[in-house]
Structure 1
Amino acid sequence: MTATMRTNWAGNVTYGATELLTPTSVDEVQRIVAATPRLTALGSKHSFNRIADTDGAQLTLAGLPPVLDVDTDRRVVRVAAGMTHAQVAAGLEARGWALANLASLPHISTAGAVATGTHGSGVRNPSLAQAVVGLEVVRASGDTARVDASTPDGALDAHRVALGALGIVTTVELAIEPSFEVATTVHLDLPWDAVLGHFDAVVSDAYSVSLFTSFDDRGARQVWVKHRTDEPAPQVDLVALGARPADGPVHPGENDTAGVTEQGGVPGPWSERLPHFRSSFTPSTGAEIQAEYVIPASHAIAALEALRPLASVFAPLLIAAEVRTVAADSAWLAPSSERQSVGIHFTFRREPEAVEAAVHRIEETLAPFDPRPHWGKVSVATAERLHEAYPRLGDFAALARDLDPTGRFRNAFLARILS
C-alpha cells in the first residue's frame, strides 16, 4: 500500500517511506525482501528518532500470525517478532511461565524492543535483548537464517541488538522461568542527600527499583520498589531516610493514574506489575520526546550531581526523568554491554527545538561519565562519539556490510553510524 503521511507514536517524526508493506506470512516477507531495493522494519512506532524510517518501503510484521510456543524442557518461548510484550506476557502467564523482566511499556513490539536495546530495571536484570537465545531472520537475499548460541563468531550477540541492519527478524526465542508475583510500593520525595548517600542500597533493595526526579529540590519525587514475593522483603527504610509513603496510586508523568499498574504493595503476576503502565491504557502523554543515556553504575552518583544544576533548563520541558539500574549484557550494541549500568531517562514535552537544546546540555554534562545513548531515542551524538561509546560498533558495521552488501536494509540513520 502507498504510504500516506504517517508519524511515530509520539508524533515527533513524520515518516518519509514511500509505502507501508504488511505481509501476512514469512514466505511473503521473503518475497518482499528479495524484490524491494530498500526497506526498513517498522515495529510499534515507539522510537523517537529515524531508526525505523527510510526513503524506500517500511515493512510491518503486525499482519503475521501470532506465535507463542513454549518449550518447557529448554525453558524457551518462540514468539512472532511483531507481537507486543503485552501479548507475550499474557500468553506466558496463562501457561505458568514468565520473562525475567519487561520494559515500562508493555505495548512495544518484542523484536523492536530487542533491536534497540530497550531495558527494564534491576541490578540483576540486563536488557531485554539478553533473554534472546535464538532468532529467525530474513536476509537481504530473501533467504531465511537461524541464529543461536551455536552460530559461530559471536553472531547471536551481534544480532541481539541489531538496529534492523542485519535483516528482518520474523521470530524470536526468549529464555523463560516459572511465573512469579511482584508487589509494587511507592514512596514520595526522597531527599537528595538520601538519594546520593544511599543510592546503591536503594536501587538494589528489590527486584526492580525506579527513581523519578525533576532534578529539583524534591529529590526523587517518586521511588517505585517492585518486590518479588518469592525473595526477601526490602530492607531500606525509605521513611527513615525522609520519604513518605504514597497514599494512593501515582503516575510518574502527568496522566490519569488509571493507566498505571497496581501499587500499594498488592501482589500480582509479574506480567501486570513489572511494567509501569497497563497494556489496556494509552501508556503516557504521547505528545512527547524521549532521550536516555546509560552510564557505568560507578558514575551514577556523580552524574546525578552533575545534572542537578540543569533543573532550571528542565523545568519548562521535563515531564519525568527516571533513573534505573541495568545489569551487564553480552550483546555487542546493548547500552549496558559488558558493564553494570544505570540508565537516566528523560521524557520531554514535544517541543523539538527546545528539546534539542536541552539534549545538547545533557550530553555535554554527561560526557565525562561515558554515556551510551539509547538507540531508539533522541541524541545529538556524532557517529565518531557513538563508535567511542560502543566498542563493537565497528565490528557490527563490518558484519552488516557482509550480510547486506547492497544496503537493502540501510537507511539514513544506519548510513550515518555504520559508515
Structure 2
Amino acid sequence: MQLQNWAGNITFTPDRLHTPRRVDELQHLVASTDRIRALGTGHSFNRIADTVGALVSLRDLGANIEIDATANTVTVPAGARYGEVGSVLQRQGLALHNLGSLPHISVAGACATGTHGSGVGNRCLAAAAVGIEFVRADGELVQVRPADPAYAGSVVALGALGIVTRITLAVEPTFDVRQDVFLDAPLDTVLDDLDAVLASGYSVSLFTDWSRPDVIDKIWVKSRDGEAPDGRRWGARPADVAQHPIAGEDPAAATEQFGRPGPWNARLPHFRLEFTPSSGEEQQSEYLVAHEHGADAIRAVHELDLAGVAQVAEFRTIAADGLWLSPFHERASVGLHFTWIDDDAAVHAAVSAVEQALTPFDPRPHWGKVFLAAPSAVRAHYSRLADFQSLAATHDPDRKFGNDFLERFVY
C-alpha cells in the first residue's frame, strides 16, 4: 500500500491503513499490532508519521464535539479539523484563543507537533489543551489532565505515547477579527521597529518572496474588537485588491480582508476551509528563534538568494509555553517559515543555507517540516527530553509507536 502526504513529497508504505469506528476497536487494534502510528490530515512534510507497520486514520472514529459551558471547554475527536471545530463553537458563541494558517489540519496532529498561529500573546495550539485521551501500547485508554505531573509531556508528544482519541480544549467567548493587508514595507524600517510591527494586531504575519530583497512584501494584521492598524507608519501602503500570501495565487482562497470584521474562525486562518490551502505543490520548513533575535534572524535570511526556490516566507510570533517538547518551551519566539517549490535538490540546498544563516540564533526546527539539523542538535533544545523519554517508556516500552524519526530525534 502506498499513501502520500498532502503535498505529495512523502510516500508512506504501511502494511495496512486502519480506519476504526469505535474506541474499543482501536484499543484491540493497538494491543494486537506490533508497530502502529496515527496518520492525521497529512500536513507534515517529513516522515514523522511514517512506520514500517500499520497506519491508523481517526477520521471515522465516532465521537461528538462536546461543549462544557460550565468548565469553558470543548472536547473534540482527535481527527476533527480545526475548521469543523471552529464552526461548531461559533454557532454556540464560543471561540478558541487562536488558529493556525490552515483550518484544514486535524486537532490531534497539530497539537502533537507544536503547530501554531501568530500573536505576541498567543501560545501554540497545543497550549489550549486541558485534557487528552489516548490508547497506549497495551490497549489501555489513558486520560491525562493538567494536574498530572506528566501532563506537560503528553500533548506535544509526536505520537510517541499512543494513538490520541480525544482532546479537551479551553474556550472563551466568541470575538470578531478584522484583517488588513499592507504592501511594500521597506525591510530596514520594519526590522528597526519589529517589536511594534509584530504587536500591532492580535495576530501579525510578514511575508516576503525575495523578488525585492530590501522589501517586506506584505504585512497581514488581524485585529480584535475593531482596532484599526496603520501600516503606513512603517512605509507600507494599504492593499487595494485582495491578496494571497503567495504572489500569483488566486486570492479567493484567502480569508476576507480590507478591514471587514468577521468571526474569529473566518479571519484568524489565512485560508478558507473550502479551498485548497497555500499552493499545494510545495514543501515547507520553519525555524523558531528567541523573540529578541527576531530582527537579526530575519535580516540574515533576507541576505540569502532564495529567489526561485522560496515561493514565500512568513515571519510571525509565538508566546512561550511549558510543554516539554514544544518548540516554544520556555521561550517566546519568532517563527521563520518557508514555503518552497516541490524540488528535493533545490529545497535541500536552500534549507542548508537557511540553517547555516540561523545558526547564531539557536534555531529550533518545527517538528513537522523539512529540516537537516543533526539529531544531537535538535535534542539539545529540550531540557525535559529525558523526562519525556521516561514517559514514553512507561506508555510504550517496546516502542510500538516508534519510527526512524523518533529513534533519531527523540529516543
Partner-residue secondary structure (3-state), 2:108 = helix
| 2:108 counterpart residue number | 111
Deviations 1:323-348 (A, max 9, x none): 01000111111111111111000000
Does 2:223 align with 1:227?
yes
Deviations 1:187-224 (A, max 9, x none): 00110111111110010011000000124435210000
Q: Contact conserved, 1:208 with 1:227, CA < 8 A, in 2?
A: yes
Q: Contact conserved, 1:372 with 1:390, CA < 8 A, in 2?
A: no
The range that moved more, 359-368 or 267-276, is: 359-368
Counterpart code for 1:247 = D
Which of the numbers 158, 166, 170 marks the counterpart of 2:161? 166
Q: Contact conserved, 2:2 with 2:14, CA < 8 A, in 1?
A: no
Q: Contact conserved, 1:186 with 1:223, CA < 8 A, in 2?
A: yes
Does 2:285 align with 1:288?
no
1:195-344 residue pairs with structure 2 within 5 A? Answer: 195-215=190-210, 216-229=212-225, 232-234=227-229, 237-253=230-246, 254-310=248-304, 312=305, 314-344=306-336
Partner-residue secondary structure (3-state), 2:75 = strand
When residues 188 and 66 of structure 1 are mapped into structure 2, their CA distance, relative to the original with a 3 A threshold, is farther
Identity %: 50
| 1:133 counterpart residue number | 130
Q: Contact conserved, 2:213 with 2:303, CA < 8 A, in 1?
A: no
* CA distance, structure 2, for counterparts of residue 160 and residue 87 of structure 1: 21
* CA distance, structure 1, for counterparts of residue 22 and residue 50 of structure 2: 22
Which of the numbers 66, 78, 82 marks the counterpart of 2:75? 78
Q: Contact conserved, 1:40 with 1:59, CA < 8 A, in 2?
A: yes
* CA distance, structure 2, for counterparts of residue 11 and residue 393 of structure 1: 31
1:35-46 residue pairs with structure 2 within 5 A? Answer: 35-46=32-43
* CA distance, structure 1, for counterparts of residue 379 and residue 220 of structure 2: 34
Partner-residue secondary structure (3-state), 1:338 = coil
| 2:381 counterpart residue number | 389
Partner-residue secondary structure (3-state), 2:196 = helix
* CA distance, structure 1, for counterparts of residue 74 and residue 301 of structure 2: 41
* Structure 1 runs not aligned, ≥5 long: none
| 1:60 counterpart residue number | 57
Which of the numbers 351, 361, 371 marks the counterpart of 1:369? 361
* CA distance, structure 2, for counterparts of residue 102 and residue 67 of structure 1: 20
Does 2:2 align with 1:8?
no
CA displacement at 1:80 relative to structure 2 = 0.4
Q: Contact conserved, 1:66 with 1:83, CA < 8 A, in 2?
A: no
Q: Contact conserved, 1:126 with 1:327, CA < 8 A, in 2?
A: yes
Counterpart code for 1:114 = C
* Structure 2 runs not aligned, ≥5 long: none
Q: Contact conserved, 1:387 with 1:394, CA < 8 A, in 2?
A: no
CA displacement at 1:9 relative to structure 2 = 0.3
The range that moved more, 329-338 or 126-135, is: 329-338
* CA distance, structure 1, for counterparts of residue 288 and residue 59 of structure 2: 30
Partner-residue secondary structure (3-state), 1:160 = coil
Partner-residue secondary structure (3-state), 1:391 = coil
* CA distance, structure 2, for counterparts of residue 401 and residue 24 of structure 1: 28
* CA distance, structure 2, for counterparts of residue 73 and residue 239 of structure 1: 44
* CA distance, structure 2, for counterparts of residue 74 and residue 263 of structure 1: 34
Relative to the length of structure 2, the TM-score reads: 0.98
Q: Contact conserved, 1:292 with 1:345, CA < 8 A, in 2?
A: yes
CA displacement at 1:386 relative to structure 2 = 0.8
Counterpart code for 1:245 = P
- Number of aligned residues: 409
* CA distance, structure 2, for counterparts of residue 219 and residue 330 of structure 1: 35
CA displacement at 1:394 relative to structure 2 = 2.7
Q: Contact conserved, 1:394 with 1:418, CA < 8 A, in 2?
A: no
Which of the numbers 18, 21, 26 marks the counterpart of 2:18? 21
Partner-residue secondary structure (3-state), 2:132 = strand
* CA distance, structure 1, for counterparts of residue 214 and residue 294 of structure 2: 18
Q: Contact conserved, 2:39 with 2:56, CA < 8 A, in 1?
A: yes
Deviations 1:118-146 (A, max 9, x none): 00000000000000000111010000011
| 1:401 counterpart residue number | 393
CA displacement at 1:233 relative to structure 2 = 4.1
CA displacement at 1:240 relative to structure 2 = 3.5
Relative to the length of structure 1, the TM-score reads: 0.96
